[in-house]
């Protein structure tokens, strides 16, 4: 009887390890402590724990100056100001990202599939993508947490 139980437990353990997802390796990788030292508490919560800031809480939501939006964690350029628009959602919105710098992933955290936006350099959570953006451009709305971004004003 003991052998049967032991074999059953081993079978369960080995079958579970086959179902684990492969984690992507990013160019910028830091320990939890390094991220906590580098980022504010709010930035850490959003970028590293996939949190969401309060609606209408980001000063970047109504920022329409010319410039570029970079990842607050690793400074990778993510969005150009020319692609920013007022979606009325209460979060900064863009109709497109800088090519290859924003990763699209699937997120099931609230019980159904959503398209998660991540920095392709450090894996930081940015927000989510929706198909209700401006139809005259891409039709996409990248709904981004302002705390995940740093704005660099253009010199023009």
Q: Which residues are catalytic?
A: 143
Q: Which two tokens stand for residue 18?
A: 């086959």
Phi-psi domain of 90 (left: phi exceeds 0; alpha: psi -120 through 50; beta: other): left
Interacting residues of 141 by C-beta distance below 8 A, sequence separation 6+: 87, 89, 93, 94, 95, 129, 130, 131, 132, 133
């Amino acid at each position: 009887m003991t052998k049967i139980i032991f074999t059953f437990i081993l079978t369960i353990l080995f079958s579970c390890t086959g179902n684990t997802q492969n984690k992507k390796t990013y160019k910028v990788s830091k320990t939890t402590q390094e991220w906590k030292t580098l980022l504010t508490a709010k930035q850490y919560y959003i970028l590293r724990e996939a949190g969401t800031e309060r609606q209408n809480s980001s000063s970047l939501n109504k920022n329409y100056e010319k410039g570029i939006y970079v990842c607050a964690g690793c400074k990778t350029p993510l969005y150009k100001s020319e692609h920013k628009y007022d979606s009325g959602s209460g979060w900064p919105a863009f109709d497109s990202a800088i090519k290859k710098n924003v990763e699209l992933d699937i997120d099931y955290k609230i019980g159904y599939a959503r398209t998660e936006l991540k920095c392709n350099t450090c894996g930081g959570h940015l927000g989510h993508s929706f198909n209700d953006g401006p139809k005259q451009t891409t039709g996409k709305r990248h709904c981004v947490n302002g705390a995940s971004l740093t704005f660099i004003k253009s010199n023009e």
